[in-house]
Amino acid sequence: MFTLLDPKNDYVFKRLFAGDPELTVALINDLRPDLPQVESVEIMNPTIDASELGSKGIVLDVRARCVDGHQYNIEMQRQRDWGARSLFYLARLLSQQLNAGKEYQAMTSAIGIHLLDFDLFLANDAQRQRALWRFEMRDANQPDVVLGSELQLTVIELKKADRLGQEPAPAGDWVRFFEHWQEESVMSDITHEPVKKAMGSIRQLSADEEAQRLAEAREWGRINWNLSIGSARREGLEEGLEQGLEEGLEKGQKQGQCRTLQRLLTRRFGELPEWATERLAAATAEQLEAWADEILVAGSLEEVFEGRCTPGS
């Protein structure tokens, strides 16, 4: 019996929607009912480079263009450093329309739909009671004055939306799908056909061993990134207090990377032999990062250290 893949895993998310333009159309229409109905889309980036799944910088978004030229950037976000990076990619989707000799007036809208696997706005009670946000270029004092519609961003905080239960179907059905895909008692109550289709696709994809492996590789990359950043910052600050900020940050980063990689290796291959811990302790920060990439594809502990960057190379 296979384990159902998580549709919030961004590799799985992209396989679902980039591989099925009709499902992408349904998601757009259900989450942006205020816009004219989209009839069909062309997926602009349908492929996934499996070798990049462990990369810290890869963005597994879905970019789609409808028949009237409007472009959509649809992302599942699990990293809290989401804001500036995602705005950059959305703005780039707009600017890339300006080929040589093309007039600015010919630009079509770049519309982001970003699903967040974390709570973002919690500053006050009003923010805590709302999970769906729509951002446009508006005047701060007179928000009814809009400076065009070329750049739009819809944000849905999935966990908060699920807790509040405010979103009616069909948007609420998508929220339940992303939050409760493993719960048959919840999913059996959903009658919205696109969500039922997405659930069927999850079951089919989950039965594919290669998809399971690649989804796990993507999750390892995310865990590695989160742990290494957190450890480096925390230990860098501690060392900085004693040795000076610059030196402490550098040392703390290496220590954090080493401990993170040791945890990941132990989780993947079991208790580490002495030779492995010694090589970790002697490695540079660059070597540790290279080994972290190897862990996603290596079949054994030895293969990790025989990767493209080893001590003494």
Q: What is the mean pLDDT of residues 16-21?
A: 96
Runs of H (alpha helix) within 40-170: 82-95, 125-128, 158-164
Mutual angle of helices 193-206 and 10-18, in 10-degree steps? 120
* pLDDT score of 140 more than 50: yes
Mean predicted lDDT score pLDDT of the chain: 84
pLDDT value of residue 219? 80
Cβ-based neighbours of 173, under 8 Å, separated by 6 or more: 30, 190, 192, 195
In angstroms, the CA 173 to CA 218 distance is 26
* pLDDT score of 28 more than 50: yes
Query: In this predicted model, which residue has the larger pLDDT, 236 or 146?
Result: 146
pLDDT value of residue 83? 78
pLDDT value of residue 1? 63
* pLDDT score of 144 more than 70: yes
Note the maximum CA span of the chain: 66
pLDDT value of residue 166? 93
Q: Look-up: residue for tokens 């250290």?
A: 305
Distances (CA, A) of 243 to 190, 238, 256: 58, 9, 16
Q: What is the mean pLDDT of residues 127-153?
A: 93
**Residue 26: how many CB atoms within 10 A of its CB?**
21
In angstroms, the CA 228 to CA 131 distance is 30
pLDDT value of residue 43? 97
pLDDT value of residue 281? 87
Which tokens hold the place of 150?
């070329």
Query: In this predicted model, which residue has the larger pLDDT, 213 or 234?
Result: 213
pLDDT value of residue 254? 66
pLDDT value of residue 233? 47
Cβ(43)–Cβ(81) under 8 Å? no
Q: Is 16 helix (H, G, I), strand (E, B) or coil?
A: helix
* pLDDT score of 2 more than 90: no
Query: In this predicted model, which residue has the larger pLDDT, 13 or 256?
Result: 13
- Whole-model pTM: value is 0.73
* pLDDT score of 240 more than 70: no
pLDDT digits (tens, 9 = 90+) for 94-127: 888 876 456 777 788 999 999 999 999 999 999 9
Cβ-based neighbours of 212, under 8 Å, separated by 6 or more: 2, 3, 5, 206
Label residue 216 exposed, middle or buried (CB < 10 Å: 0-12, 13-18, 19+): middle
Query: In this predicted model, which residue has the larger pLDDT, 171 or 104?
Result: 171
* pLDDT score of 226 more than 80: no
Confidence of residue 30 (pLDDT cuts 50, 70, 90): very high
pLDDT value of residue 127? 96
* pLDDT score of 198 more than 90: yes
- Run of H or E including 73: strand 71-77
Q: Is 237 helix (H, G, I), strand (E, B) or coil?
A: helix
pLDDT value of residue 170? 96
